[in-house]
Amino acid sequence: EIVLTESPGTLSLSPGERATLSCRASQSVSSNLLAWYQQKPGQAPRLLIYGASRRATGIPDRFSGSGSGTDFTLTISSLEPEDFAVYYCQQSDSSSWTFGPGTRVEIK
Amino acid sequence: EVQLVESGGGLVQPGGSLRLSCAASGFTFTSYSMSWVRQAPGQGLEWVSLIDTTGGNTYYADSVKGRFTLSRDNSKNMVYLQMMSLRADDTAVYYCAKGGSSWFYFDSWGQGTLLTVSS
């Protein structure tokens, strides 16, 4: 089973700053099988990015995904107040779907 | 608009059984895989199970294999998660999630239903 590790665990930033979140896999992941989600307190997760770099419907272009192999990145170019949340990466492999432990983006 | 509405959560004693339901609307149900993902209190997301478009293939996390059974009724746009031999570590919010254009990711989620396993 592929294990995903996200870093940092918590990112403390101010609105307007750039956020860079990392997701590392224990084995190579096909790029089209890596997704990112946002979750706010008390809410269901929301799909942001799929196929490593494709924005989901309605997602602002300040969110971007990149990477390949074992290293993937979610970038938020300029944080808006509504972007402070927990972010999870997720991969699919051999009929198994796994999530990373999450990165919390908090207001500094 | 895609809508996924979960129901059936509640308080169950260890060793007990429960069935969760997910009512889907706003999309062509028969064209998409469906999944359950759970989140224990204060914890991250854990994929539980996935069913393909016809219901002919189901997949389970090792943590629930042999105890949980996922099914779908394409005539009613419903998904069901039958859970048996429940344990305290099954306590979580259970989300119903719709597969994307490929079944590798989840593009829509319900609001979740809480299962508490406790004596």
Question: Does residue A32 register a pLDDT over 80?
Answer: no
> What pLDDT, on a 0 to 100 scale, did the predictor assign at position A71?
96
Contact (CB<8Å) B45/A45 = yes
Contact between A5 and A100 (Cβ < 8 Å): yes
Contact (CB<8Å) A102/B105 = no
In this structure, what token pair is assigned to residue B63? 């943590």
Q: How far is A18 from chain B (nearest CA, A)?
A: 24
What pLDDT band is residue B45 in, cutting at 50, 70 and 90?
Answer: very high
Contact (CB<8Å) B100/A47 = yes
| Portion of chain A with pLDDT greater than 90, in percent | 94
In this structure, what token pair is assigned to residue A50? 């799929």
Residue written as token pair 């494709």: A54
Question: What does pLDDT average to over chain B?
Answer: 97
What pLDDT band is residue A66 in, cutting at 50, 70 and 90?
Answer: very high
Tell whether A53 lies on the interface with B, counting CB pairs under 8 A. Answer: no
Question: Does residue A31 register a pLDDT over 80?
Answer: no
Contact between B81 and B19 (Cβ < 8 Å): yes
Q: Where are the beta strands (DSSP E) in B54-112?
A: 58-60, 68-73, 78-83, 92-99, 106-109
What pLDDT band is residue A95 in, cutting at 50, 70 and 90?
Answer: confident
Identity of the residue in B47, B107, B111 whose CB atom sits nearest the CB atom of A97: B47
The DSSP H or E segment spanning A25 is strand A19-29
The tens digit of pLDDT for each residue in B53-88 reads: 999 999 999 999 999 999 999 999 999 999 999 999
The DSSP H or E segment spanning B6 is strand B3-7
Tell whether B99 lies on the interface with A, counting CB pairs under 8 A. Answer: no
The stretch A34-61 carries a mean pLDDT of: 97
Identity of the residue in B46, B100, B111 whose CB atom sits nearest the CB atom of A50: B100
- How far is CA B56 from each of CA A60, A95, B52, rounded to the nearest angstrom? 37, 14, 7
